[in-house]
Amino acid sequence: MIGRLPLDEQLGAFISTLSRNETLLEVLDRTTAMNLPSWYLTAGCLFQTVWNVVTGRPPTEGIKDYDVFYFDDRDLSWEAEDQVIRAAAATFADLPAQVEIRNEARVHLWYEQKFGVPCAPYTSTEAAIDSFAATTCCLGVRLEPDGRWRVYAPHGLSDVFGLVVRPNPVLAPRAVYEAKTERWRRQWPELTVLEWPVAT
């Protein structure tokens, strides 16, 4: 079982598994060319690719979108972010998938209105990834200029390969976690979804 391998071997298996998703590789290549500050391809497209491969499904099955986070606190205006979003729309227009790109330096400006809880300003893209509703989702990858993979995985990779979804109650409300996991379980019934912790 890959989740029980030493971490360096898990990392190699992770990159090898992601490399089976041709759309993911294309998103990585094209985002690299956009030269965004501190960017990562993150979230569902990563762990869902692993889930698909581990359970014998096609690598892209059920993946709704490909999320790209970047961090640029030099200009927090919507206009600056929208310029990047428009450039990305042109960059990815011919891909058979939706690519969503967001400046994580701006999240605190709209998060409470959308999710009902305040969000302190992030200090980095990694800090934004740390706040996902499940630790299993806390992943980011990008290609460095020399072609080397950079992988951010603060909670490791064992749960990802083990099909375990573990709550991360640091920001996102319980309802967000439960809505996401309900949807994932319909697509990947092999998952083990751990319950949101209840204060005693």
Enumerate helices (H) and strands (E) in the chain, giving the number of each.
8, 7
What per-residue confidence (pLDDT) applies to 31?
97
Alpha carbon 8 to its chain's center = 21
- Which among 125, 119, 149, 152 has a CA at the least distance from the CA of 138? 152
More confident: 173 or 140: 140
Which helix (H) or strand (E) is 165 found in, with range? strand 164-165
pLDDT digit string (tens) for 47-77?
999 999 999 999 999 998 999 999 999 999 9
**Rounded (5°) CA angle 36-40-44:** 140
Could you state, in order of their start, the residue ranges of all structural domains in the chain?
Answer: 2-193
Sign of CA dihedral 169, 173, 179, 184: negative
Angle of helix 22-34 relative to helix 78-91, nearest 10 degrees, comes to 130
Sheet holding 40-42, edge to edge: 98-103, 65-70, 40-42, 140-143, 149-152
pLDDT-derived band at 4 (thresholds 50, 70, 90) equals low
CA distance 127 to 76: 17
CA distance 171 to 132: 8
CA distance 141 to 153: 9
pLDDT digit string (tens) for 84-125?
999 999 999 999 899 999 999 999 999 888 888 889 999 999
- Kindly report whether the global pTM for this prediction surpasses the value 0.85: yes
Three-state DSSP class for 192?
strand
